[in-house]
Amino acid sequence: MAEDVEKTDIELEGVSSATMAKLKKAGLSTYESIAVTPSREIEELTGMGADTAQKVMQLARVKVDLGFIPATQVLEKRMHMLKCNTGSPDLNRILGGGIETDAITELIGEFGSGKTQICFTLSVLAQLPVDQGGFGSKVCVIDTEGTFLPERIKQIAEARGLDSNTILQNVLVARAYNSEHQTILIKNLPQIVHEHNAKLVIVDSMIGHFRGEFIGRGTLSDRQQKIGSCLAALLRVAEAFSLAVVLTNQVQAKPDTSYGDPNKPTGGHVMAHACTHRVYLRKGKENTRIATIIDSPYLPEEKARFGVDAAGVVGCEQ
Ligand code: GTP
Ligand code: MG
């Protein structure tokens, strides 16, 4: 059995099996994940020397052919990107079809705005087959606030006529107790998503621990650098494994606002730049929620209204 654990599925010419085992143990178990990880990070994760790290990264890059390709091929790849149903047709519409793979979607909003409810619903709906709006895969969840409730997942699955036991079985949850723990879980994602073929990764919430632990201006650059490194790792996972990453983020009051919404997302520019699509959520009339796309490379700034009930996120007919 021990041998099985050590064995790696991939090979790089001229690289010893001991080195390959170190890579696998560090969660770098595919050519893609090695190719897209900076060699300095490979060194840190595996404890191997700089030359070896550089060599394995370059060899892995040759395997996955990371170079220039015609834009037609990029378009072809993008046309095959999957979109996961959120439970609300209107929210899907403003997201260009749903939660997209190869990208990070950030859900921003104050407490009770529906961030975690969207995460619960996606954890169920992503498991449905592709022709039913899902990814047909397992889901990985990093829960930093202890708010990820299996009972709610069960309720959502049952309200949708699904077998809640199977659904719960396929949601892999890790509770992150502090920012360092969260960082380790994120850096280990390549191994987990590869092993379980997960197509959706959720981090609820991304910034909470960092905000709580790095207090005072003197710690700001350290904090932002650490958040940035986590976000870069998440984007690499999204692209290397063609999966969707969904992050939640709270808002903080801006003291200097004289008009408009006085709340802004936490995490500053690092968060703003790393996330592909940013969705701002707020409470609407009669227990509805309003989502607005606030920053996306190609989605227009549109609004959608959705509801939350026993089935999780649902449409809300006006
Ligand atoms: P924070 O994590 O505190 O920042 O908030 P959040 O944005 O994650 O809030 P969350 O998604 O947990 O939304 C909570 C709200 O969802 C509650 O206040 C309820 O209005 C609604 N909600 C949660 N569960 C149910 C349910 O079973 N039925 C209905 N109708 N609404 C629910
Ligand atoms: Mg929440």
| CATH at residue 24 | 1.10.150.20
Measured between alpha carbons, how far is residue 305 from residues 90, 119, 277 in Å? 7, 17, 17
At residue 300, the pLDDT reads 87
pLDDT number for residue 1: 37
Task: Look at residue 250 and tell me if it is in a domain.
Answer: yes
Do residue 32 and residue 155 come from a single domain? no
Domain stops at, among 63, 90, 121:
63
Number of folded domains in the chain?
2
Claim to verify: residue 28 and residue 99 sit in the same structural domain: no
Instruction: Indicate whether 179 belongs to any domain.
Output: yes
Query: Is residue 50 located within the same domain as residue 172?
Result: no
> Does 208 contact ligand 1 (Cβ within 6 A)?
no
Q: Are residues 236 and 138 in the same domain?
A: yes
This prediction's pTM: 0.87
Asked if residue 21 is part of any domain, the answer here is yes
Based on the fold, state whether residues 57 and 200 are members of the same structural domain.
no
Long-range residue pairs from 283-290, CB within 8 A, at least 24 positions apart, any chain: 283/112, 283/113, 283/114, 288/316, 289/113, 289/114
Is residue 144 within 8 Å of 203, Cβ to Cβ?
yes
Atom index in ligand 1 nearest the CA of residue 110 equals: 4
Measured at the alpha carbon of residue 203, what is the angle toward residues 234 and 243, in degrees to the nearest 5?
50
Q: Looking at the structure, tell me whether residues 31 and 104 fall in a common domain.
A: no
Asked, for residue 2, whether it belongs to a domain, the answer is no
Distance in Å, CA 293 to ligand 1 centroid = 20
Same structural domain, 132 and 237:
yes
Q: What is the pLDDT of residue 28?
A: 84
Contact 10, 31 (CB under 8 A): yes
- At residue 164's C-alpha, the angle toward residues 161 and 165, to 5°, is 145
pLDDT recorded at residue 8:
53
The protein residue whose alpha carbon is closest to atom 19 in ligand 1 is 112
Pair (112, 40) in one structural domain: no
Cβ–ligand 1 contact at 116 (below 6 Å): yes
pLDDT at 151: 98
Report CA(308)–ligand 1 centroid distance (Å): 8
In the listed set 5, 40, 63, which residue is the last one of a domain according to the structure?
A: 63
Q: What number does the ligand 1 atom closest to the CA of 112 have?
A: 9
pLDDT for res 175: 97
Predicted confidence at residue 259, as pLDDT, reads 66
Cα 80 from Cα 58, distance rounded (Å): 28
CATH classification at residue 198: 3.40.50.300
Question: pLDDT tens string for the chain (318 positions)?
Answer: 344 444 457 899 999 999 999 998 887 888 888 988 889 989 988 999 999 999 999 999 888 876 788 899 889 888 888 999 999 999 999 999 999 999 999 999 999 999 999 999 999 999 999 999 999 999 999 999 999 999 999 999 999 999 999 999 999 999 999 999 999 999 989 889 988 999 999 999 999 999 999 988 888 889 999 999 999 999 989 988 899 999 999 998 877 666 666 788 988 889 988 899 999 999 998 889 999 999 888 888 899 999 999 999 999 865
Is position 69 within any domain? no
What's the pLDDT score for residue 311?
Answer: 97
In Å, how far from its chain's centre is CA 46? Answer: 23
Q: For residue 205, tell me if it sits in a domain.
A: yes
pLDDT at position 4: 41
Q: Are 216 and 259 found together in one domain?
A: yes
Rounded-to-integer distance, Cα 272 and Cα 106, Å:
9
Same domain assignment for residues 47 and 94: no
Confirm or reject: Cβ of 307 under 6 Å from ligand 1: no
Indicate whether residue 109 lines ligand 1 (CB < 6 A): yes
Query: Which residue, judged by its Cα, is nearest atom 21 of ligand 1?
Result: 308
User: Best of 88, 108, 116 to mutate for ligand 1, by most ligand atoms within 8 A of CB?
Assistant: 116
Regarding whether 92 and 43 lie in a shared domain, the answer is: no
Cβ(201)–Cβ(231) under 8 Å?
A: no
Identify the domain containing residue 22 by its residue range: 17-63
